[in-house]
Amino acid sequence: MSDQNGNSHGPAIEVAGLTKKFGDFVAVDNVSFEVRRGEIFGFLGPNGAGKTTTIRMLLGLLTPSGGSAKVVGFDVVKETEAVRKRIGYMSQKFSLYNDLTVEENLNFYGGVYGVRSRKLKERKEYILQMAGLVGRERELTRNLSGGWKQRLALGAAIIHEPEALFLDEPTAGVDPISRRIFWELIYDLAEAGTTILVTTHYMDEAEHCQNLVFIQRGHLVAQGSPEEIKVTKMHGQVIEIDSDDASRAISILRDLNLFEEVALYGSLIHVVSGDVQAHLPLIKKSLTDNGLTVRSVEQIAPSLEDVFISSAREAERVLGVR
Amino acid sequence: MDSEFIIKTEGLAKHFGHIVAVDKLQLEIKPGEIFGLVGPDGAGKTTTIRMLAAIMDPTRGNATIAGLDLRKQPEQIKEKIGYMAQQFALYGDLSVLENITFFADVFGVPAKVRRERIERLLNFARLTEFTGRRAGRLSGGMKKKLGLACALIHAPAILYLDEPTTGVDPVSRREFWDILAGLHGEGTTVLVNTPYMDEAERCSRVGLMYNGRLVEQGTPKQIKALVPGELIEFRPESDQGQDMGLRRRTNQILNQQAGVLEVQHYGDLIHVFVDSISQRRPQLERALAAEQIRMANFRQIMPRMEEAFISLMSKREMDS
């Protein structure tokens, strides 16, 4: 479904030195990245990191204070209209009209984007099919559960066959099975050539992205594929400890003051260690000396969330306290 | 009192007209556990918590909570529990300290212990520096931590949390769970609802709810062990280089193979549940090779809670 305007060869999104200041406050500071066509790209960061500000600039809703950005080949400042026509946007609030039926919502968004008559009919059929909403066209949107509403909102955002789709926290509060279905739809869209830029808090979800950037206090602090980021951005390694008394173990390990992080995972403990070779035997000894039975102590692969937190803390050290 | 369990339900049920929101629930939670109730929207998690918090009457069945009878002693139960609802109310115009003091008044926390307890909770929630800030001006994560502090003001033995971290960023979420780990260390029993499976991983035991029923319960390890088959991960690579239809084709091929139980995608990676890796690996390799697809970075992995959950739930759905 890609584009009809000859811009199909460059990256889908090119951001160079993008900056946004509000008075003295630098919300986005010299951020650069590229997103390939048909890629699922994750844009991650804590609340207030500058994610939404960046997206608003990419959508042409906010004028950058510096730098430039092109979306599907068009400049977001000089060619805002051209950009808007070619992109879709789904916000975390699912901007649907609850008082309208499923079909009326699609009609409404079709109207907004100038999708008419035959084309509209065709797109509606496709979307209802995709979202699994065939036969529920006349249901009031308010009566849909979270997962259905989410898929309808996705449908509304792609009614005009956008080349790039921006998803802002699309799965907040949606259950795991609905999230899985949603991601399958996103994969299908990407494979058909739509570029996807998604922001999310949930790191297990970020694993679905082919490439990611982490943004922290307006700065880009990491970029790469989930695997690359796990290798390059984890400060320390994760050690998992299985003992007979996790509560006591946790306070013993905290008291050692050696670890970046000591966290409880059910009956297991994860610590982040800067020196696995030295710490593995030390952990075992400290716990057994205190009378605990240690079933296992081993290094495990970090999750993307481990990496994110490690990276965020490192950035706080470099950029100043929160 | 049956001291083995601090929460024990007997056929607890809630009907709304024809809808059975919670159906014959048999839940047993030991003192000091962090028990995670997980399940899709509408599974009955919130209704369960509301009944156990004695703010909604069960249609059938009963529960014993901290040795008290849910039907006969709801008011005494309320004194023993802290409850943080999904949409809990803080007073946006009041400061952090004023909010927590308000809840201390509501619960009649005696003046003697009040100051020390407030100090301890603020410290616990890492809010000590922000006591003067208006609650309305706190970040999402800080609001949740203040909500938690307020729910703990009367030193309850049991804490109920209904999806406490929805919309909270990862760093705050980690902090929130570290606080729960601290409560766990002090012996507080925590019952937490969550749609996020990585959080289920942090619980002592987990119950999976589906259609109002508790369909599985156990430690995260036990739950993961219920998933049939073994899990492999690999990255499909095409001999033709850039290949737009690669994911779909790989998916189709795998789904036609005997022994393949389920196919899931993570970015460029594919996760496949098979009945036996040693048996099926050559077969899958051949089938994909016939379509010029290679399995790069092939390895066996442990299923994560999310994969276990989806696998178990899908099985339920097919069975019913």
Residue with tokens 């290094």: A299
Query: What is the token pair recorded at A317?
Result: 């050290």
Report pLDDT digits (tens) over B180-204.
988 888 899 999 998 888 889 899 9
Is B129 within a domain? Answer: yes
Task: Decide if A276 contacts A234 (C-beta within 8 A).
Answer: no
Find residue A22's DSSP bridge partners: A25
Task: Provide the pLDDT for residue A145.
Answer: 82
- Tell which wins on pLDDT, B40 or B151: B151
Which of B97, B88, B211 minimizes the C-alpha distance to B161? B88
Last residue of a domain, one of B224, B246, B279: B224
Q: With a cut of 50, say whether residue A228 has pLDDT above it.
A: yes
Is B274 within a domain? Answer: yes
- In sequence order, what DSSP letters do the residues of A218-257 get, joined into one string? TEEEEEE-HHHHHHHS-SSEEEEEEES-HHHHHHHHHHTT
Residues contacting A118, CB < 8 A, separation 6+: none
Task: Provide the pLDDT for residue A321.
Answer: 46
Task: Provide the pLDDT for residue B241.
Answer: 63
Task: Decide if A258 contacts A279 (C-beta within 8 A).
Answer: yes
Residues spanned by the domain of B33: 7-224
- In sequence order, what DSSP letters do the residues of A295-320 get, joined into one string? EEEEEEPPPHHHHHHHHHHHHHHHH-
B217 pLDDT tier (thresholds 50, 70, 90): very high
The 3-state DSSP class for residue A282 equals helix
The radius of gyration of chain B's CA atoms, rounded to the nearest angstrom, is 24
Same domain, B67 and B52: yes
Q: What is the residue type of B279? A: Q
Same domain, B260 and B153: no
Distance CA A79, CA A85 (A): 10
Q: How far is A6 from chain B (nearest CA, A)?
A: 19
Find residue B294's DSSP bridge partners: B237
Same domain, B133 and B196: yes
Task: Decide if B6 contacts B158 (C-beta within 8 A).
Answer: yes
Same domain, B35 and B124: yes
Distance CA A94, CA A102 (A): 13
Distance CA A256, CA B107 (A): 38
Same domain, B84 and B159: yes
Same domain, B73 and B197: yes
- In sequence order, what DSSP letters do the residues of B211-266 get, joined into one string? TTEEEEEE-HHHHHHTS-SEEEEEEEEETTSS-TTHHHHHHHHHHHSTTEEEEEEE
Mean pLDDT of chain A: 89
Q: Directed axis angle between helix B305-319 and helix A176-191, to 10°?
A: 100
Helix (H) or strand (E) holding A258, with range, is none
Q: With a cut of 90, say whether residue B161 has pLDDT above it.
A: yes
Report pLDDT digits (tens) over B26-67.
999 999 999 999 987 788 999 999 999 999 999 999 999 999
A2/B contact by beta carbon, under 8 A: no
CA distances from B106 to B110, B150, B183 (A): 11, 10, 22
Same domain, B90 and B19: yes
Distance CA B248, CA A198 (A): 21
Task: Decide if B305 contacts B194 (C-beta within 8 A).
Answer: no
Q: How far is A247 from chain B (nearest CA, A)?
A: 5
> What is the 8-class DSSP label of residue B26?
-
Instruction: State phi, psi for A127 to the nearest 5 degrees.
Output: -70, -40
Distance CA A310, CA A234 (A): 6
Task: Provide the pLDDT for residue B303.
Answer: 87
CA distances from B101 to A31, B76, B91, B94, B246 (A): 44, 22, 11, 10, 60
Q: How far is A78 from chain B (nearest CA, A)?
A: 32
Task: Provide the pLDDT for residue B320.
Answer: 66
Q: Would you call A183 and B265 a contact, using CB atoms and an 8 Å cutoff?
A: yes
Task: Provide the pLDDT for residue A320.
Answer: 64
Query: What is the token pair recorded at B16?
Result: 């709304």
Highest mean pLDDT among A12-26, A306-320, B165-179: A12-26
Is B271 within a domain? Answer: yes
Mutation target vs B (from A36, A40, A149, A180; most B CBs, 10 A cutoff): A180
Same domain, B256 and B186: no
Report pLDDT digits (tens) over A102-118.
999 999 999 999 999 89
Q: With a cut of 70, say whether residue B158 has pLDDT above it.
A: yes
Same domain, B126 and B89: yes
Same domain, B158 and B82: yes
A229/B contact by beta carbon, under 8 A: no
Same domain, B207 and B78: yes
ipTM for the predicted complex: 0.73
Q: With a cut of 90, say whether residue A64 has pLDDT above it.
A: yes
Find residue A238's DSSP bridge partners: A272, A300
Q: How far is A117 from chain B (nearest CA, A)?
A: 31
Last residue of a domain, one of B176, B204, B224: B224
Q: With a cut of 70, say whether residue B242 has pLDDT above it.
A: no
Percent of chain B with pLDDT strictly greater than 90: 62
Greatest distance between any 2 Cα atoms in chain A:
77
Residues on chain A touching B203 (C-beta within 8 angstroms): 266
Is B315 within a domain? Answer: no
Q: Would you call B245 and A191 a contact, using CB atoms and an 8 Å cutoff?
A: yes
Task: Provide the pLDDT for residue B1.
Answer: 47
> Nearest CB to A201: which of B42, B169, B306?
B169
Is B312 within a domain? Answer: no
A87-90/A164-168 β-pairing: parallel
Report pLDDT digits (tens) over A68-89.
999 999 999 999 999 999 999 9
Is B319 within a domain? Answer: no
* Cα angle value A64/A70/A54 (rounded, 5°): 40
Q: Would you call B203 and A266 a contact, using CB atoms and an 8 Å cutoff?
A: yes
- CATH code of residue B250: 3.30.70.100
Report pLDDT digits (tens) over B123-135.
988 899 999 999 9
Is B74 within a domain? Answer: yes
Give the number of A-B residue pairs with CB atoms closer than 8 Å: 129
**Number of domains forming the structure of chain B:** 2
> Nearest CB to B41: which of A175, A188, A266?
A175
Is B256 within a domain? Answer: yes
Helix (H) or strand (E) holding A278, with range, is helix A276-289
B311 pLDDT tier (thresholds 50, 70, 90): confident
Which of A178, A232, A230, A174 minimizes the C-alpha distance to A206? A230
A264/B contact by beta carbon, under 8 A: yes
- CATH code of residue B186: 3.40.50.300
Distance CA B190, CA B177 (A): 11
Domains of chain A and any CATH numbers: 13-231 (3.40.50.300), 235-301 (3.30.70.100)
Last residue of a domain, one of B224, B256, B276: B224
Q: How far is B202 from chain A (nearest CA, A)?
A: 4
Same domain, B162 and B290: no
Which of B130, B202, B120 minimizes the C-alpha distance to B165? B202
Percent of chain A with pLDDT strictly greater than 70: 96
Q: What pTM was computed for the model? A: 0.82
Average pLDDT value for residue range A163-172: 89
Q: For residues A162-175, b (16+ Cβ closer than 10 Å) or e, as one string? A: bbbbbbbbbbbebb
Q: With a cut of 90, say whether residue B78 has pLDDT above it.
A: yes
Report pLDDT digits (tens) over B261-301.
988 888 888 999 999 999 999 999 999 999 999 999 899 98
Q: Would you call B244 and A263 a contact, using CB atoms and an 8 Å cutoff?
A: no
Distance CA A317, CA A320 (A): 5
Residues contacting A14, CB < 8 A, separation 6+: A34, A69, A70
- In sequence order, what DSSP letters do the residues of A121-186 get, joined into one string? HHHHHHHHHHHT-TT-TTSBGGGS-HHHHHHHHHHHHTTT--SEEEEESTTTT--HHHHHHHHHHH
Residues on chain A touching B173 (C-beta within 8 angstroms): 201
